[in-house]
Structure 1
Amino acid sequence: MGLAARRVASQSAGVERNQDSGARPVLAGEHYAHYGAWHIDLPPLSLPDMLRQAAAQRGNHPLVDFLGRTYSYNEIWRAAEGFAAGLQKRGLGRGDRIGLYLPNVPLYVAAYFGALLAGATVVNFSPLYSAEELEAQVANSGTRVLVTVDSSALLPTALEVLDHSPLENLVVARLPDMLPRLKGWAMRLFARKQLTAIPARADVTAWQDYLSSQAPTAVPIDPQHDIALLQYTGGTTGTPKGAMLTHQNLTANARQIRAIDPDQGRRDMVLGVLPLFHVFANTCILNRTIANGGCIAMLPRFEAGQVLATIGRVRPTSLFAVPTMYQALLDHPQLKDTDFSSLRETISGGAPLPLPLKRRFEEETGVKVVEGYGLTESSGVVSTNPLHGENREGTIGQVLPLTRVRLLDKEDPLRDPPGNEPGELAINGPQVMQGYWNRPDAAATAFVERDGERWFRTGDIATFDTDGFIRIVDRLKDMINVGGFKVFPSTLEKHLVEHPSVKEALVIGVPDDYLGERPRAYVTLTDDGPPVTGDDLLAWLKPHIGKHERIESVVIRDSLPKTPIGKLDRKALVAEVLGASSQ
């Protein structure tokens, strides 16, 4: 399935011409550079059936390596069945929402698939949520049962939410029980402050006590229509919304990713450090790995030293991370002593990858970093640069199989952008969500019908290269209006991080009495670059940008706000600088 398949894909998928003007193409599979074909068969498949098939094939092979303790496919499947039967025993199943308030632990996999096996819908919650944030999303989603661990960072918050929300029950697993035996003993003896005792309450049950030894009752699942996951958006603008992802959305995206992997079937050890509560990890680390019969070297959180040590211990073949993680690895003194040669695929997503960071990481480690793109609403992944072959810098690569993209006019989504101007990226494919939970109003504005088809509006401004590679210019809602001229923050940030002293940069619009808005930059500095001031950076930047893009000031800070997954958080910076009312 090499070159010949790609030629067939180019001819069969091709480029579809927009019927409105006949000028702007809809990108599908033209000049397809990925391994395999653009047109593939993705029959309906539920997530429980995907795990069931993998367990039948892989059996006692490891699915999870957790800090040195392995869990086989059969073990995870049996635990999932026990949780599903436990839910059914308590009258829970189809139509109910089961929440996961968990770090990366083996329990996550069993609880996730167990809830789905019972016919329920999973709701992911970030372990970094405050009680107020967790309570709001529990109420919004109608979550009835919440699964967590006895960590002092999580259990007290979960108990507070149990007391002040419609949540009915808490299921709590003991973290030391999941660790390798010696590490579990050590945690009980020397790290007791990190644990909170499970209270004796009727509405709180230990994980092991919740499981049933009976086989769960089979529940018919319609993969095309049954909602498997409520995945709340990161909330870059306004209140987070729950994207409704079906079983087919999620299994299709996992199979799309597997289809472009030229190494499918070979040893597959994925470094699982991205948080599983995030859609990037849910699809690329959890679902994709199960579809491929691989193993996840799971880490509870991102710590650069632990990641480097794990690379040495398990020799992973794939690494999925966000740009700030690559920066943290570069900054760690053990990087130079770490052998990265086992990595066949190193993928960056979740946020734009600055070219200086990409080039430096590749130079220091000898691996190729491939940039991809996706959204919560697309089940994780829309496009990526080819895993093997051309890795075109500054692009998000080409679309996955069966995925199409088009450009919409920035002012009127029913039209195409004039000439060769950038437009809002819209996507159509089997991985696109059904809508937003209890928010038909939001879904109505998120989709547009063109030529009789439903397209999801990403809010990202993009251009297409002539051979099918996609370039993201900026976020539509992040554009700064400078006296009627549109300024893209990402353009200014791209220039700033090219300065040898700048590590990270965020640009936001601030009020200006004359122009309406002006760009202002906030940066952090590298440890090894020449000393600079904000005025120095302003002077350095001036010849690289247009007059309408001139930055009001450059503010040097020790740190910039980040999201739970580690992305630079523009929304938080705007709220901090301009006040929450600006949102």
Structure 2
Amino acid sequence: MESHEIFEKYIKNRPWTKNYDEGIPAEVTIRPEPLYAYLDRTASSYPERTAFVYFGSHVKYKTLADHSDRVAKALREMGVSKGDIVALYMPNHPAFAVAFYAAAKIGATVTPMNPLYTPGEVARQARDSEARVLFTADVQYDKAIKANEEYRFEKVIVAEMTEYMPAWLKPIARRQIRAPRIKYGGAVVKYAELLSYEAEGYRAAVKPEEDVVALMYTGGTTGTPKGAEITHANISSNLQQLKPFYDVVRRSRGIGADAPLVLVGVLPWYHIYGQVTVLHYSIFDGDTVLVYPRFDLKKILSDIGKYKASVFHGVPTIFNAIVNSVDVRRYDLTSLAFCISGSSPLPVELARRFEAATGAPLREGYGMTETAVVTHLNPLLNGRHKAGSIGLPLPSTYAAIADLEKPELLPPGQTGELVISGPQVMKGYHNRPEENKEAFFNCCGLRWFRTGDIAYMDEEGYFYIVDRKKDMIKYKGYSVFSREIEEVLYQHPCVKEAAVIGVPDQEAGEAPKAFVVLKDECKEQIKPADIIKWASERLAPYKRPRYVEFRSELPKSAVGKILKRILKEEELSKWAQTGRSNK
């Protein structure tokens, strides 16, 4: 069957819409707008409403709007203008949002940086993006200044972590934070000084579908960091695609359209997942975010009850931490209307345990930096969600399965590469023409993006990720998918976390190796051989893990995603030194 026949029969009519929650449309009317328009609108309509709760301090929308206007004026006086790059190197903080929207208002492009980056990594991203100005936090000042020695920013703007905290808390927090001594002057500017500039209300003329608002760096399908060019229209489209889901939850909980939802803001904003679904969505919808610079489990659980949080976007490691918290049942989590897990596969057993422990629904969704951000979501309420599936494509989104090598679409049930077409798909990779050629192809009148994820679609339009293309293991010619093994391992009563990779094997080419973190009560009680035996009883012979290594913890990104890349690098290094894997 040809691609156009498959598209006409299985994709064009979007069969997945039949399984949407009641009230979710197949199409939404997309009105691309400059991102700053949402802040202007919300601040005008709800000036006294709380935008952020930051260590008990309530930052109002009128403050967010006013401060971003002042910082926009300061940036313009520094010579920053439309198309220039402004780097944000800081944890979640109200100043992050202020700087982001200030840059958007003058037509500049923001490039957020992982707060865990080394000075060298900061300099590399700055050089590739040609950033002119860097916003950072006082706790990262030393690293920022070292980065500035390697790549000269015109200005380094430093925000204190205590900025926006309640007055009574600031002296206490300063003693605990112990930020380095900062030498202001010259290129180093205090963030608070920018707030003294007179707001002028300037707005750059923006073409939403052309102008880039964020340059988001990602490994993509190759692992090499590159900037995904995210336009104003990419983000504004995705916000409009997500709104029907939030509205369904509002109605189910009796929350009025004019009442703010409260979102848990633990996902880092430097990452597209937390940035779009929490930061930008809250401003778009006029909601309130509980802001956390770092993961603090007890405070988050306590705040959910205190502030009646209803929306919790997270990653599997966050929900796993909640499940394994011995006192989770002490907290009032009844306000949670829905929890969404993204960034990495959600083990079915983890979702079951979370819902049993908290009573809150947990659904898996899917998106990428390049799709700014969400493309799939399981039904939240009366629609039928399927455990193990990433769910259904969002309204106004096409998804399909393509041949791994050729630009051809495959029918339901066949495994290939997940491809996406929709208004949220990025403009392209920054200064990477060859990689853009590999990432996109045209078919059936649409522009498709190759995600790098191996997946299949069932007859009802539900999609299932079986592995990353780069994580698939070739054992004696068989294709072994690491996620399938991980799902089995998570069912073991002693397994807290698990990650499976392929390691070099002289006879098989590659062999599955599992890295396992045991629950505390099982340590010293179980051996790797016990895990192998248990998995062997539940997996075909070629799929069972050949090696199991216990770890006290697994390497993770700032967003909480398990970094298999680091595990692979460690194993390849051992192989290079010894000629065999460390078993």
Superposition TM-score tier, normalisation by shorter sequence = over 0.9
Asked if 1:164 corresponds to 2:158, the answer is: no
Deviation of the 1:299 alpha carbon: 1.1
Contact 1:248–1:430 (CA under 8 A) maintained in structure 2: yes
Contact 1:410–1:417 (CA under 8 A) maintained in structure 2: no
- Which residue does the alignment assign to 2:100? 112
- Which residue does the alignment assign to 2:526? 532
- Which residue does the alignment assign to 2:487? 494
Structure-2 separation of matches of 1:235 and 1:22: 26
Q: Deviations over 1:89-129 (max 9, x none)?
A: 12111110001111111111111100110110000001111
Contact 2:238–2:424 (CA under 8 A) maintained in structure 1: yes
- Indicate which of 411, 414, 420 corresponds to 1:427: 420
RMSD (Å), alpha carbons: 2.0
Structure-2 separation of matches of 1:22 and 1:316: 41
Deviation of the 1:281 alpha carbon: 0.5
Residue type at the aligned position of 2:451: T
- Indicate which of 543, 546, 552 corresponds to 2:540: 546
Deviation of the 1:307 alpha carbon: 1.1
Contact 2:412–2:456 (CA under 8 A) maintained in structure 1: no
- Indicate which of 5, 24, 34 corresponds to 1:36: 24
Residue type at the aligned position of 2:173: M
Q: Secondary structure at the match of 1:481?
A: strand
Deviation of the 1:548 alpha carbon: 2.0
- Which residue does the alignment assign to 2:109? 121
- Which residue does the alignment assign to 1:252? 237
Q: Secondary structure at the match of 2:88?
A: strand
Q: Secondary structure at the match of 1:91?
A: coil
Deviation of the 1:428 alpha carbon: 0.4
Contact 2:532–2:545 (CA under 8 A) maintained in structure 1: yes
- Which residue does the alignment assign to 1:515? 508
Residue type at the aligned position of 1:109: A
Deviation of the 1:410 alpha carbon: 1.9
Q: Deviations over 1:104-159 (max 9, x none)?
A: 111111111001101100000011111111111111111110001211xx110001
Contact 1:426–1:456 (CA under 8 A) maintained in structure 2: yes
Contact 2:412–2:458 (CA under 8 A) maintained in structure 1: no
- Indicate which of 217, 222, 230 corresponds to 1:232: 217
Contact 1:260–1:400 (CA under 8 A) maintained in structure 2: no
Asked if 1:199 corresponds to 2:174, the answer is: no
- Indicate which of 553, 560, 570 corresponds to 2:554: 560
Q: Deviations over 1:421-442 (max 9, x none)?
A: 2111100001000101111111
Deviation of the 1:527 alpha carbon: 2.3
- Which residue does the alignment assign to 2:78? 90
Deviation of the 1:538 alpha carbon: 0.9
Contact 1:383–1:398 (CA under 8 A) maintained in structure 2: yes
For residues 39-438 of structure 1, the aligned pairs below 5 Å read 39-151=27-139, 154-188=140-174, 190-191=175-176, 194-211=178-195, 212-234=197-219, 237-261=222-246, 262-264=248-250, 265=257, 266-389=259-382, 390-412=384-406, 414-417=407-410, 420-438=413-431
Structure-1 separation of matches of 2:56 and 2:72: 27
Structure-2 separation of matches of 1:446 and 1:315: 42
TM-score, structure 1 length as denominator?
0.93
Contact 1:520–1:552 (CA under 8 A) maintained in structure 2: yes
Structure-1 separation of matches of 2:60 and 2:511: 56
- Which residue does the alignment assign to 2:567? 573
Percent identity over paired residues: 34
Q: Secondary structure at the match of 1:521?
A: strand
Contact 1:575–1:581 (CA under 8 A) maintained in structure 2: no
Pair 326,503 (structure 1): closer, same or farther in 2 beyond 3 Å: same
Pair 267,200 (structure 1): closer, same or farther in 2 beyond 3 Å: closer
Contact 2:413–2:459 (CA under 8 A) maintained in structure 1: no
Q: Secondary structure at the match of 1:454?
A: strand
Pair 424,501 (structure 1): closer, same or farther in 2 beyond 3 Å: same
Residue type at the aligned position of 1:177: E
Higher alpha-carbon deviation: 424-433 or 309-318? 309-318
Q: Secondary structure at the match of 2:400?
A: strand
Residue type at the aligned position of 1:231: M
Contact 1:503–1:526 (CA under 8 A) maintained in structure 2: yes
Deviation of the 1:284 alpha carbon: 0.6
TM-score, structure 2 length as denominator?
0.93
Q: Which runs of 5+ in 2 are unaligned?
A: 251-256, 577-583
Pair 569,24 (structure 1): closer, same or farther in 2 beyond 3 Å: farther
Structure-1 separation of matches of 2:164 and 2:155: 22
Deviation of the 1:371 alpha carbon: 1.0
Structure-1 separation of matches of 2:332 and 2:277: 23
Q: Deviations over 1:160-203 (max 9, x none)?
A: 11121032210111222321111112123x33x62123213310
Deviation of the 1:23 alpha carbon: 8.3
Q: Which runs of 5+ in 1 are unaligned?
A: 1-16
Structure-1 separation of matches of 2:491 and 2:9: 33
Residue type at the aligned position of 2:97: V
Structure-1 separation of matches of 2:412 and 2:330: 51
Contact 2:485–2:544 (CA under 8 A) maintained in structure 1: no
Structure-1 separation of matches of 2:552 and 2:568: 17
Contact 1:382–1:403 (CA under 8 A) maintained in structure 2: yes
Structure-2 separation of matches of 1:72 and 1:581: 56
Residue type at the aligned position of 1:144: R
Deviation of the 1:287 alpha carbon: 1.2
Q: Secondary structure at the match of 1:181?
A: coil
Structure-1 separation of matches of 2:99 and 2:363: 31
Structure-2 separation of matches of 1:349 and 1:546: 28
Q: Deviations over 1:329-380 (max 9, x none)?
A: 2222331210110111111111111111111111111111111100000101
How many corresponding residue pairs? Answer: 562
Contact 2:412–2:457 (CA under 8 A) maintained in structure 1: no
Pair 303,335 (structure 1): closer, same or farther in 2 beyond 3 Å: same
Structure-1 separation of matches of 2:7 and 2:560: 42
Deviation of the 1:237 alpha carbon: 4.1
Deviation of the 1:418 alpha carbon: 7.1
Residue type at the aligned position of 1:545: L
Deviation of the 1:312 alpha carbon: 2.7
Q: Secondary structure at the match of 1:473?
A: strand
- Which residue does the alignment assign to 2:579? none
Contact 1:236–1:571 (CA under 8 A) maintained in structure 2: no
Deviation of the 1:224 alpha carbon: 0.7
Q: Secondary structure at the match of 1:284?
A: helix
Contact 2:11–2:400 (CA under 8 A) maintained in structure 1: yes
Q: Secondary structure at the match of 1:260?
A: helix
